[in-house]
Amino acid sequence: MTEQTEKILSRKEGGTWWLIYNQPEKKNAISLDMSMKVVEVLDAFAQDATARVMVVMGAAGTFISGADISEFESRRNDAAAAAKYAEISNRMFSAMREVEKPTIAMVEGFCFGGGVALAACCDMRIAADDALFSIPAAKLGLGYRVDFTQMLVDLMGPSFTREMLYTGKRFTAQEAAAMGLVNRVLPKAELEKFVRDYAKTISENAPLSVRTSKAVVGECLKDNAQRDLDKCERLIDGCSNSEDYKNARRAFMEKKKPVFVGR
C-alpha cells in the first residue's frame, strides 16, 4: 500500500509501515499541513491490525531539518500565534509519542530542531554515520518547550540536554550515541537494510507483548505517584491469557517458530 500527498508519503511492507517526510527542497522541514497529514497516517497505522511497527524517515537522504521557518512570519509571528502554531503541530508529536505500537526513527543527514523532537518521540533512533543533530532554538531567539525538553532529559540526562540547548551546535551521530540520544550508528550504505531487518524482527514478535513492553516502559518514565500500575497489570495479564502465548508454548515444545496473530 502506498499513499501520497505532496509532502508526506507512506507505504506498508508486511507488518512494517514506512512514514516518509517528503519536502527535500527544504531538507524535509515540517509545515503545519504536513504535521496534520502525519496525524492521519498514524491513526491509520494504529487502526491496522496487521501493522506491527513503523519506521519514520525523511526523503532524499536526510531526516528532518526542523519546522518550516518560511511559515513563521505568517503563522508564528508573536506569542499568541506561536501558541496556536504549537497547538496544531503538537498533535503530530503527541500522536507519534502516544501510538501504542513501536516506532523507529531512521535518521540520516540533518536532524535539527523539530526533527530531534520527532525522533525523540519515537521508541528508538537508529542513525547513519553522516547524521547531524542540533536544536538551534538559542540561535533563533526561541524557547524550547517543556514537553520536548523532558523527552531529551529522559534520553540524555540534564547535562547533555543543557549542552545541546545552550550551544545550538551540531553534534555528530557518534556524539549523539555517546550522549544517549541515538541507539546505534551504522554506515550510511547499511542503514536502511539494518532498519528493515530490525523492523521485521519486531513485527514477527508477539504484538501484545511488544505493546505491553512499550506501555510499561512509558509508565516507568513517570513519577511513582503518576504510574498506572493497574493498566500495566491488565496488559501483562492479557499477554498471559492470549492465544499467542498458548500457541508459542506449543510451538516451543514442537520446536517450531510461532506465528503471532495479536490476540
20 — pLDDT class (breaks 50, 70, 90):
very high
Q: What is the CATH number of the domain that holds 52?
A: 3.90.226.10
Q: Same structural domain for residues 36 and 146?
A: yes
Average pLDDT over residues 133-146: 92
Range of the structural domain that residue 212 is part of: 206-253
Q: Is the pLDDT of residue 34 over 90?
A: yes
Looking at the fold, whether 110 and 161 belong to one and the same domain comes out as: yes
Residue 143, burial from CB neighbour count under 10 angstroms (0-12, 13-18, 19+):
exposed
> What is the domain count for the chain?
2
Gap between the Cα atoms of 197 and 74, Å rounded: 43
pLDDT in tens, 168-210: 999 999 999 999 999 999 999 999 999 999 999 999 999 999 9
- In a domain, residue 259? The reply is no
With H, G, I as helix, E, B as strand and everything else as coil, classify residue 257.
coil
On whether both 129 and 223 belong to a single domain, the answer is no
- Mean pLDDT in residue range 216-241: 96
Q: Which residue has the higher pLDDT, 234 or 84?
A: 234
**Within-domain flag for 31:** yes
| Amino acid 62: pLDDT | 98
Same domain, 228 and 169: no
Tell me what pLDDT residue 223 has: 93
- The yes-or-no verdict on residue 2 having pLDDT over 60 is no
- pLDDT tops 70 at residue 3: no
- As a whole number, the mean pLDDT across the chain is 94
Amino acid letter for position 225? A
Q: Taking 70 as the threshold, does the pLDDT of residue 1 lie above it?
A: no
Residues 6+ apart with CB under 8 A from 75: 32, 81, 84, 85
What is the pLDDT, as a whole number, of residue 75? 77
Q: How confident is the model at residue 63 (pLDDT cuts 50, 70, 90)?
A: very high
Residue 263 placed within a domain: no
The answer to the question of residue 189 being in a domain is yes
| pLDDT above 70 as % of the chain | 98
Residues 139 and 218 in one domain: no
Residue 109 resides in a domain: yes
pTM: 0.94
Is residue 79 very low, low, confident or very high in pLDDT (cuts 50, 70, 90)? confident
Verify that 178 and 60 share a domain, yes or no: yes
Confidence of residue 5 (pLDDT cuts 50, 70, 90): low
**Are both 189 and 218 inside the same structural domain?**
no
Longest dimension (CA), the chain: 66
Residue 124 corresponds to which amino acid? M
